[in-house]
Amino acid sequence: MVMSWFWTLCVFVSLMYSMPNGTLSAVSTAATEGAGLGVELCISMAGTLCLWSGVMEALRQSGALDTLGRLLRPMLGKLYPQHQSDEQIMGAISANLSANLLGLGNAATPFGIQAACAMAKHTGGVASDALCMLVVCNTASIQLLPVTVASLRSAAGCESPMDILPAVWLSSLLSVTVGICAAKLFAALERAR
């Protein structure tokens, strides 16, 4: 529904804004060109996107999820002390994080939901601190290789679409750190009240 409103707003504002500003004919051209642009973009993205999806699938089949999960386990224990000894929950959380790191969003969500459901048992519909942490971590992007973005850039004629990697890592790291700190801070504030 959000997108329907957004779309309506876009075309309505374009019409209203262009009339007094004399850009009406440009808007009319842009509408048909924009639609074509969407298709062109997808075709020029296709190669890069498919190649990287293939690479990620090969890594997944090689057991990269398990390996990453094992490496992340000690750190995750610190982040979710409440569930540290729960094999099932910790397994799901580390699989969720590993899949997110590899950019396998479709694989990450079921693991995350599995962990979320286990955490939400017996809490009577109230989110626990651990569940809030899990959700906050999943709303921050921590993808090691931003494949879709890279293919967008190469579609626009970029010669080295991956040159933004260090910037993406720095930015993701800052964002997820602030998310975790905010969650911890809000939890502490709630307890203090």
Partner 1 sequence: MNLLTSAAVPLILTLTALIALSHQIDLHSALIKGAQDGLTILLRIVPNLICLMTAISMLRASGFLDWMAEICAPMLKPLGIPPETLPLLLIRPVSGSGALGVGAELISTYGPDSLIGRTVAVMLGSTETTFYTISVYFGAAGIKKTRYALPAALCADLTGFVAASLAVRIFFG
From 127, 110, 142, select the one nearest 183 (Cα to Cα): 127
Distance CA 141, CA 23 (A): 38
- Shortest spacing between CB 73 and partner 1, in angstroms: 20
Of 52 and 80, nearer to partner 1 (C-beta) is 52
For partner 1, which is the closer residue by CB, 62 or 84? 62
For residue 128, what is the DSSP state? -
Instruction: Select from 180, 168, 115, 109 the least CA-distant residue to 142.
Output: 168
CB 61, min distance to partner 1, A = 5
Least distance CB 108 / partner 1 (angstroms): 10
Radius of gyration of the chain (CA): 22
Could you give the dihedral angle defined by the CA atoms of residues 155, 164, 171 and 116, in that order, rounded to the nearest 10 degrees?
A: 50
Closest distance of CB 86 from partner 1, Å: 15
The gap between the terminal CA atoms of the chain, to the nearest Å, is: 37
Q: Which is nearer to partner 1, 63 or 81 (CB)?
A: 63
Q: 72 or 158: whose CB is closer to partner 1?
A: 158
